[in-house]
Structure 1
Amino acid sequence: MADSEVSIGRCVPSKTFPKQFLLGTATSAYQVEGAWNDDGKLPSMWDEYFHNTGENKMHKYYLDMQIPLIEEYKARGVHPRLVDEYKGMAVYEVPSSKVIDPEYFNFNGDITADTYHKIDTDVKLLKELGVQAYRFSISIMRIIPKIHDHIPEQKGIDYYNKLIDKLIENNITPMGTLFYYDASSSINVFGGLLHPHIGTLFEGYVRLCFEKFGDRVKYWTTTPDLHLAAEGYGSEHHVPGFQEHQFSGFLDYIAIKNLLIASAKAYRIYNNEFKGKQQGEISIGINGTWYYPKDPNNPEHRKIAKLAHLSTFGMIMNLLAYGEYPAEVVEAVERNSKAEGFKTGRLPEFTEEEKALVIGSFDFIVLDYYSCIKVRPLTSEELKNEPNHKRKDRGYFMEFDDISPVEVYDGFLNCLKYTNEVLNKPKIFIGGNGYPEDEGVDKSAQKIAYHTGILNKLLEALDQNINVFGYCVWSFLDTLEFTFGYRKKFGIYSVDFDDELRPRSKKNSFSFFQQLFKTNKL
């Protein structure tokens, strides 16, 4: 719906979102709460990861746009290798950690933005911003620090009760995420997401959350971005940090299956035991990076771009829709297994019972989107030298250069169309979408342009009857962006991480978001 407003003597067209459309912002527990060992909370997987910075941890990695020293490293004879992507940013491997200053990686989540101690302050800021919804995640270690649900931690429950109550008092819809890349470090004793018992533990935990918070929280997400949450079981740059040359293409696939089954069980529990009384809805989160062929006129480039979709977010959607891996993914894994001489299969199979459990195990989809990537097929030499088996299965080389804003915005609409088609017109909520600013650099103009471009495409999707009912900006505050540390600033409010009081302040783009949230107009 379009109308117009008068601004500074001229007519400026504006576009209005539907009346019931939820506009808001988001964070996750580990990235903002701090208080890492307060009130009975025990160490999480990320606490252990950042507190133990040995040779096999993140010192092996630096990330593009975080350390602007690529050419300097090359001059020293250290050649980086592009290995992954995070929110549209490139992740590189450095062959030797010895040339990297370890002090550069001297960060963790012990304090972060300290939201654990600042509920009143932060809810007041959310109210000032004018949001209709706030997405947050619950730290499992605050609720059941000793893993099992029979020994809950009341102080952790009290914290989230206070947050939820404060949000509702200020007419802000609370949206809770049950698992966000983080669990107790103790679960690694029995294999973490690799062990089917994780589903049993998750059942007890989600029941506790529904019992304690479900009378007020009506929108739940079981887990975000499954293919990213499983990344650390075949990569050292994500928790728990398993070595890629030994475990990739094996354990990460198992983690995806177990986490998807745990999510499906949580959905069934809510629908069977809580929905009748609480009348809420359950979602699962999916990260939707769009992949373009580097050369759109080359059929092999087009083919590998399709495989890129199918082997990342498309795999999760296919499993939710049909209980099956995409045929192209199965073919790629089998082909590479044969080429490498593996005698056993690497994709864990789903039983008929598991397929029935997983298919349709959501009321709505939470879709995250940040950017797009151009891909080309790996050369035979690149395939030969690639130590990561899952990366061989995917078969593509990522390129982050020469991507236009138009391609980024179109990629977002493409992801919405893809989701709408594969999952047969589901309800969709945009759970996280943001633009990073570099430390000490004001990119407000670029940030506003980015969100304007994305939101215009969202309005196009609504015009095409794609059922999107809300949108959250990542993020409410500057956060710890995991192994990117504190140098990428997504927040609407900035946080001074050098000040022990962690003061917040409005960024120059604040008024853009405030106007959007308070008027529902772009």
Structure 2
Amino acid sequence: MISYFGDYANLCFEAFGDRVKHWITFSDPRAHAQAWHSYNSTWRGKQRGLVGISLNCDWGEPVDMSSHKDIEAAERYLQFCLGWFANPIYAGDYPQVMKDRIGKKSAEQGLDMSRLPVFSLQEKSYIKGTSDFLGLGHFTTRYITERKYPSRQGPSYQNDRDLVELVDPNWPDPGSKWLYSVPWGFRRLLHFAQTQYGNPPIYVTENGASQILHCMQLCDEWRIQYLKGYINEMLKEPLLSHMQMVTEIVVPTVCTLCVLISAVLLMLLLRSQS
């Protein structure tokens, strides 16, 4: 299937590359790296485009910020969601917590090897760095806590994570069971992606709200409020980055200049008095 997808991607690059300058290989992926390498080696020089991927993830917030177990559970939630595919692209391998958890669960199930595939050194090198930008889909947030009871399921994605997802009953709810409006989670997810993967260019590829209410005329107030909230939170993240830059670079530079100017003025003052 990887080679088939590579053939398909090359056909698209050849047919549309003179006009298309931003490519997303997958929305929820697999054979991504080969398509990126094909573009990079054959088409990028003459078409001057970019190739990225689109990954979907909700934000996971610890139920209790003072609980180390809840913080770890929220980290697992994000690594099993976004990190599952982003970490190989940006770091060359699956997140360590996935390797540890699934390896342990596989051993408990009597398996000789982990259910999570193992990358060879060649595969790690081939996959790492294969994204010119990160496409990010996001819709809602969950509170996360550690699961304190044994699972009755067999081997599964849910069982491997060992966590419980909760929602705040005060969160606005449009009627879809899975979707709640939690704009602040969007900013936290963007910040997580920036810091986790080396501040890549991020394009928001999916966001929006369904609405179950049936209307005879346009009734879109819920969606307007949802998008307004999420866009406002998205706009805050670059501001926070600039504030961090001011704190780390501008403030020390200004302080140093003030010290130097004060020293020069003091020298001039002493010279004039003498």
- Pick the TM interval, shorter chain: 0.7 to 0.9
Answer yes or no: is 1:453 the counterpart of 2:222.
no
1:280-313 per-position Cα deviation (integer Å, ceiling 9, x unaligned) = 1111111121011233333322221111111111
1:163-192 per-position Cα deviation (integer Å, ceiling 9, x unaligned) = xxxxxxxxxxxxxxxxxxxxxxxxxxxxxx
Answer yes or no: is 1:396 the counterpart of 2:199.
no
Instruction: Find the counterpart in structure 2 of residue 297 from structure 1.
Output: 66
Matches within 5 A, 1:290-369: 290-369=59-138
Instruction: Find the counterpart in structure 1 of residue 23 from structure 2.
Output: 220
Aligned partner letter, 2:23? W
Aligned partner letter, 1:391? Q
Distance 1:438 1:425 in 2: 37
Aligned partner letter, 1:404? W
Q: TM-score, normalised by structure 2?
A: 0.79
1:464 shift after superposition: 3.3
On the 8 A contact 1:317/1:422 being kept in 2, the answer is: no
1:398 shift after superposition: 1.9
Instruction: Find the counterpart in structure 2 of residue 431 from structure 1.
Output: 205
Instruction: Find the counterpart in structure 1 of residue 3 from structure 2.
Output: 200
How many pairs align?
Answer: 233
Give the one of 224, 238, 242 matched to 1:462: 238
Distance 2:169 2:71 in 1: 17
SS in 2 for 1:222: strand
Instruction: Find the counterpart in structure 2 of residue 209 from structure 1.
Output: 12
1:56-101 per-position Cα deviation (integer Å, ceiling 9, x unaligned) = xxxxxxxxxxxxxxxxxxxxxxxxxxxxxxxxxxxxxxxxxxxxxx
Q: Gaps spanning 5+ residues in structure 1: where? A: 1-197, 227-258, 467-522
Distance 1:334 1:456 in 2: 41
Distance 1:214 1:367 in 2: 23
1:388 shift after superposition: 4.3
SS in 2 for 1:346: coil
Matches within 5 A, 1:1-16: none
Where is the helix percentage greater, Structure 1 or Structure 2?
A: 2
Distance 1:464 1:292 in 2: 19
Matches within 5 A, 1:151-230: 198-226=1-29
Matches within 5 A, 1:21-60: none
Instruction: Find the counterpart in structure 1 of residue 257 from structure 2.
Output: none
On the 8 A contact 2:83/2:94 being kept in 1, the answer is: no
Distance 1:298 1:276 in 2: 51
Aligned partner letter, 1:460? K
1:318 shift after superposition: 1.6
SS in 1 for 2:135: strand
In structure 2, the CA distance between the partners of 1:407 and 1:437, relative to structure 1 (3 Å rule), is closer
Give the one of 405, 430, 444 matched to 2:220: 444
1:246-302 per-position Cα deviation (integer Å, ceiling 9, x unaligned) = xxxxxxxxxxxxx1xx21111111111111111111111111210112333333222
Answer yes or no: is 1:387 the counterpart of 2:191.
no
SS in 2 for 1:336: helix
SS in 1 for 2:26: coil
On the 8 A contact 1:285/1:367 being kept in 2, the answer is: yes
* Percent identical residues: 27
1:335 shift after superposition: 2.0
On the 8 A contact 1:334/1:345 being kept in 2, the answer is: yes
On the 8 A contact 2:181/2:226 being kept in 1, the answer is: no
SS in 1 for 2:182: helix
SS in 2 for 1:414: helix
Instruction: Find the counterpart in structure 1 of residue 194 from structure 2.
Output: 420
1:330 shift after superposition: 1.4
Q: Which moved more, 1:297-306 or 1:348-357?
A: 297-306
On the 8 A contact 2:171/2:181 being kept in 1, the answer is: yes
1:403 shift after superposition: 5.8
Q: TM-score, normalised by structure 1?
A: 0.43
Q: Which runs of 4+ in 1 moved over 6 A?
A: none
Larger Rg: 2
Q: Gaps spanning 5+ residues in structure 2: where? A: 173-179, 243-274
Distance 1:463 1:306 in 2: 24
Distance 2:181 2:95 in 1: 26
In structure 2, the CA distance between the partners of 1:402 and 1:293, relative to structure 1 (3 Å rule), is farther
Instruction: Find the counterpart in structure 2 of residue 276 from structure 1.
Output: 45
The alignment's C-alpha RMSD in Å is 2.0
On the 8 A contact 1:290/1:371 being kept in 2, the answer is: yes
Where is the strand percentage greater, Structure 1 or Structure 2?
A: 1
On the 8 A contact 1:264/1:357 being kept in 2, the answer is: yes
